[in-house]
Amino acid sequence: MLRLAMTTDAETFERVRGPLGERGIAVEHVRAKERSLCVSGDEDDGEFGGFDVGFVYPSRLMEGAVVDERLSVPWVNGRESVLTSRNKAGVLAALDAVGVPTPRTVMVSNPVDEATVIDAVSSFSYPVVVKPNSATRGVGVAAAHDLDSLLGIVDYLNLVHDYRATGDRSYLIQEFLPDARDYRAMVVDGAYAGAVRRELPADAIESGRWKHNVHRSAEAAAVDLPERAYDLAERAADALGIDYLGVDLLEAGDRLVVTETNARPTIDAATKYEPDFYDRLAGLIRRTAER
């Protein structure tokens, strides 16, 4: 049986163990963070030995380098895939270059003066979305409804970025798409593999909330996307060269755009994906192991 190392023990780990086990792939957890890791010496590497393939490179890149060396296996999504997807501005630029529609976006690289921010947003209509370039799960994303509120958000970012340990000091200013429907499409080995619509409860929307992140209490329900939607998801994965990818789409009126991608996507219940989802995922894992 093939041994697959997975560095998360959250939802995805529990959901994939059974289906992949039925397909001859043993899924085992390798703890990559919030622990001590031996980086040199002759200590027994029993917990890291005997694996054939890794699923997705660890989210913490520093620890990941050690775990990667200890495991010494190919990854379905390696370090470069994770870094590529994490850079929101880089993703949008790459997709725009090949004609994949994206929201109108400007990247601001701190530190900049107030005049630069005012100039960057001068051609936008309010409200606008402000988001850190490399955060996940909707962390730090805010809507600015006028110039004063925008500059207030920027003041906060400047305060955070003043700490020298902050790695990525860039952020995005992006057009706001009102009443947009929020989808996460999955692409496995270059092909669309199913999608969910993420939606906040009605009372949350009525109270003014608008970020449909599952980690912020939104529900994810299976949805049949039109052909143009899964075509965009496949084109996005192809443009980025990432085999296993979550692609976030917003639909507002006649517009359908790719907003972000995730090379570490959470896998939902199998009923929310195409019937052959796990067959294709197992095939991708096996081919990766054979590299």
Mean pLDDT for each consecutive 10-residue tract of the chain (291 residues)? 92 94 97 89 75 96 94 97 95 98 95 92 95 72 90 78 64 92 94 90 60 61 90 97 96 95 93 94 97 80
Amino acid at 174: Q
β-bridge mates for residue 217, sequence order = none
* The CATH number of domain 2-77 is 3.40.50.1370: no
What kind of fold does domain 104-175 have according to CATH? Dna Ligase; domain 1 (3.30.1490)
pLDDT at 137: 57
Q: What's the DSSP call for residue 265? A: P
Task: Please state the domain extents for the chain.
Answer: 2-77, 104-175, 178-289
pLDDT at 159: 66
Rounded to an integer, what distance in angstroms lies between the CA atom of residue 158 and that of residue 171? Answer: 10
pLDDT at 278: 97
* DSSP for 63-98, written as a single string: HHHHHHHHH---EEE-HHHHHHHH-HHHHHHHHHHT
Q: How many helices (H) and strands (E) does the chain have?
A: 9, 13
pLDDT at 253: 92
- Given the structure tokens 């200890």, which residue do they identify? 70
Amino acid at 70: R
Which of 213, 187, 183 minimizes the C-alpha distance to 200?
Answer: 213
What kind of fold does domain 178-289 have according to CATH? D-amino Acid Aminotransferase; Chain A, domain 1 (3.30.470)
Local structure of 169: helix, strand or coil: coil
pLDDT at 62: 92
Count the Cβ atoms, other than its own, within 10 Å of residue 255. Answer: 11
Order of strands, sheet of 53-56, starting from the edge strand that comes earlier in the sequence: 25-29, 2-6, 53-56, 75-77
